[in-house]
């Protein structure tokens, strides 16, 4: 049986950088929700072809991230279903929290 684990590109992202990104995104999200409300953010994304394109693009990116999560959770022994639900429920915060709490597959085994 081959126990060789190939390092992922995310193994080189420093945790402090991820934390800064998560905090900055949290501030932007709080500001957006205060300005438009939670439902208002989504309705703004459907206002015209330009915002709809961005909205659909973000959905596609989330799907690609979920595909990556499937592969990574297998390598790290984490729950794919849990992190998929978190990603679908809170958007980019899901993968950011996943990465903040992720250990390298080499340290997991």
Per-residue confidence (pLDDT) for residue 23, from 0 to 100: 97
Regions of the chain short of the pLDDT cut 70: 1-6, 105-109
Domain assignment present for 97 = yes
Say which DSSP state 91 is in.
Answer: T
Q: What contacts 69, CB < 8 A, 6 or more positions away?
A: 80, 83, 84, 87, 95, 98
Residues in the chain: 109
Taking every pair of C-alpha atoms in the chain, what is the biggest distance, in angstroms?
A: 55
Looking at the structure of the chain, the number of domains it has is 1
Domain assignment present for 55 = yes
Domain assignment present for 47 = yes
Domain assignment present for 75 = yes
Domain assignment present for 4 = no
Domain assignment present for 37 = yes
Domain assignment present for 101 = yes
> What range does the domain containing 104 cover?
14-108
């Amino acid at each position: 049986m081959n126990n060789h684990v190939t390092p992922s590109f995310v193994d080189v992202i420093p945790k402090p950088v991820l934390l800064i990104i998560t905090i900055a995104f949290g501030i932007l999200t709080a500001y957006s929700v205060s300005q438009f409300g939670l439902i208002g953010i989504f309705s703004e994304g459907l206002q015209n072809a330009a915002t709809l394109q961005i909205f659909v693009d973000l959905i596609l990116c989330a799907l690609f991230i979920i595909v990556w999560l499937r592969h990574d959770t297998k390598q790290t022994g984490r729950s794919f279903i849990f992190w998929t639900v978190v990603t679908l429920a809170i958007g980019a915060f899901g993968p950011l929290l996943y990465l903040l709490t992720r250990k390298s597959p080499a340290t997991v085994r």
